[in-house]
């Protein structure tokens, strides 16, 4: 087990290096020469060359990459072109904002989809099963931006229960889950974010569970005299490796931030930040955001793999 964990951990290093190469290449592939943008057109070539040397841009690309990588490892992601703010600070703030709603959404989606999936799989073909399927299909197929707008119209405009946009008076500083004055801003984004993963995970839970319930060992468990509840426990444990993988993927997507949901609710998260960076051509900000998100995605998958190998003893890959 520990050997597997170590191997799996070591395997993420090349993946992460790959991520940094792609992020670095992003800047190099962007059109335009940064130094030419920096200086006035009439600057003499010697001055330009001096400046180029000052920023290290006269070095071969490989050297530039390692210099950049070293800075990244020291936590320096450069400065935003738009407002000269530290990219690392911007990204971390946006990341925490997104994490605030993404974690709750994914937990709600996971718990609810498990419950709905179990209910549906144990009552296959019945009315409850059909209702659950309808909920799942609704979750998968409803466009989130439309849902977000409908939520705003209903709860903010018509009923005036919840604020329509933003993150509260204090903005992203000191957001407190347990303070309704903060949390009320998060309610609608959470609902809008949770619904698609809820639909997808309900479908997969139901189908995986009904497949497991048809396997031979379920009959053995029944022949042993176990109650239906205990049999469900066995069956659910058997679908957990797949469900964990699904959970990890969905959490990864949500942490990437839903550009649409965060834009509708002007929630200052990663999706919102990415959108801003792209629209203002803020390459360092874009690079830093993508690097952080991709790294988190890789790490989530690492955790998922380790969790899977703990649940299923047959998993000893690599």
Partner 1 sequence: MNQIQTPDLTLAEPARAKAAPFVKVRDLKVKFVSREATVQAVNGVSFDLARGEVLCVIGESGSGKSVMMRSLLRLHPKKRSVIEGSMLVGDNEITTVSDKKMTELRGSTISMIFQEPMTALDPLYTIGDQIAETVMRHQKVDRDAGMKRALELLELVRVPSPERRLKAYPHELSGGLRQRAMIAVALSCNPSLLLADEPTTALDASVQIQVLVLLRKLQRELGMSMIFVTHDLGVAAQIADKVAVMYAGRMIEYGEARDVLVNPQHPYTKAMLASTVKDQHKGEALEAIAGTPPDLRALPPGCSFAPRCKFAVDACRAAMPEPVSDARGHYARCIGVESTGGALRFAAPKPELALAG
Cβ closest to partner 1, residue 8 vs residue 234: 234
Q: Which residue, 129 or 282, has its beta carbon nearer to partner 1? A: 129
Least distance CB 275 / partner 1 (angstroms): 43
Number of residues that bind partner 1 (CB under 8 A): 20
The region of 130-138, 209-217, 259-267, 268-276 touching partner 1 under the rule CB under 8 A is: 209-217
Kindly tell me which of 27 and 218 has the beta carbon lying closer to partner 1. Answer: 218
Q: Does 214 bind partner 1 (CB under 8 A)?
A: no
Q: What is the dihedral of CA 203, 206, 207, 212, to 10 degrees?
A: 150
Q: Judged by CB under 8 A, which stretch of 78-86, 102-110, 188-196, 217-225 contacts partner 1?
A: 217-225
User: According to CB under 8 A, which one of 74, 223, 279, 318 is a site residue for partner 1?
Assistant: 223
* Per CB under 8 A, 51 contacts partner 1: no
Binding to partner 1 by residue 230, rule CB under 8 A?
yes
Nearer Cβ to partner 1 (14/225):
225
Minimum distance of partner 1 from residue 4's CB (angstroms):
15
Give the phi and the psi of residue 79 in degrees, each rounded to 5: -120, 150
Residue of 47, 220, 266, 281 that binds partner 1 (CB under 8 A): 220
For partner 1, the binding residues in 234-253 under the rule CB under 8 A are 234, 237-238
> Nearest distance from residue 311's CB to partner 1, in Å?
7
Q: Which is nearer to partner 1, 23 or 231 (CB)?
A: 231
Which residues are near partner 1 by CB under 8 A?
Answer: 215-217, 219-227, 230, 234, 237-238, 311-314
């Amino acid at each position: 087990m520990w050997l597997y964990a170590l191997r799996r951990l070591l395997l993420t290093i090349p993946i992460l290096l790959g991520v940094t190469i792609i992020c670095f290449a992003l800047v190099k592939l962007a059109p335009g020469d940064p130094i030419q943008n920096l200086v006035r057109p009439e600057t003499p070539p010697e001055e330009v060359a001096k400046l180029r040397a000052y920023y290290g841009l006269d070095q071969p690309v490989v050297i530039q990459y390692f210099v950049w990588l070293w800075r990244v490892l020291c936590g320096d992601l450069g400065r935003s072109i738009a407002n000269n703010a530290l990219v690392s600070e911007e990204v971390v703030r946006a990341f925490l904002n997104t994490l605030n709603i993404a974690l709750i959404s994914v937990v709600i989606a996971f718990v609810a989809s498990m419950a709905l999936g179990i209910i549906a799989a144990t009552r296959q073909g019945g009315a409850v099963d059909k209702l659950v399927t309808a909920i799942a299909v609704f979750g998968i197929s409803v466009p989130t931006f439309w849902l977000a707008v409908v939520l705003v119209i209903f709860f903010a405009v018509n009923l005036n229960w919840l604020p329509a946009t933003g993150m509260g008076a204090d903005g992203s500083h000191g957001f407190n889950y347990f303070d309704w004055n903060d949390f009320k801003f998060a309610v609608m984004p959470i609902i809008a974010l949770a619904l698609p993963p809820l639909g997808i995970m309900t479908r997969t839970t139901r189908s995986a569970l009904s497949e497991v319930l048809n396997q031979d060992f379920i009959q053995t468990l029944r022949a042993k005299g176990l109650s239906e509840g205990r049999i469900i426990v066995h069956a659910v444990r058997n679908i957990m490796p797949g469900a964990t993988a699904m959970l990890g993927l969905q959490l990864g997507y949500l942490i990437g931030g839903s550009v649409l949901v965060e834009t509708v609710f002007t929630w200052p998260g990663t999706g919102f930040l990415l959108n801003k960076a792209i629209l203002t051509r803020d390459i360092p900000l874009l690079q830093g955001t993508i690097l952080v998100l991709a790294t988190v995605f890789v790490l989530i998958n690492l955790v998922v793999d380790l969790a899977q190998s703990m649940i299923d003893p047959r998993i000893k890959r690599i």
